[in-house]
Amino acid sequence: MTTFTAKPAEIEKKWVMIDADGLVVGRLASIVALRLRGKHLPTFTPHVDCGDNVIIINAAKIVLTGKKREKKIYHHHTGFIGGIKERTARSILEGKFPERVVEKAIQRMLPHGPLGRQQLGNLRVYPGADHPHAAQNPVKLDIAAMNRKNTRSA
């Protein structure tokens, strides 16, 4: 008996669409990271990109539990000496690119290396309800129905 190993030519990628309106960020991110890696499939192979393509719409309407909206801080560095900058989750969500909160949560749950970057390329996040991927016929995935804790009324 040998262990099954998927080859890149044998993989069929599906398109999945998720409506993030009212969903909790961490719970959404963990399910999406699982889908991007392909761990939901019986043919999962750790060193091959065998996950789905995921589209997330309404990313600006996500919910952070507790006081994370005010107290969670995102850091980035400008590259200059003493150039560490910080922003709260609230300032990002109210800013120009509110979908970055969801993108960062998912990115930090994926492997940190070439394969993780390739899998992150299969993620598309949009702040509103419109997306240009109707031709791919994405299957709608209802995360709110999976568990009552996945959704929260703001």
pLDDT tens column, 13-59: 999 999 999 999 999 999 999 999 999 999 999 999 999 999 999 99
Per-residue pLDDT at 154 exceeds 70: no
Contacts of 148 (CB under 8 A, 6+ apart): none
Contacts of 101 (CB under 8 A, 6+ apart): 25, 59, 62, 64, 89, 92, 93
Closest CA to 65 of 34, 24, 4: 24
Please give the mean pLDDT across all residues of the chain: 95
pLDDT at site 42: 93
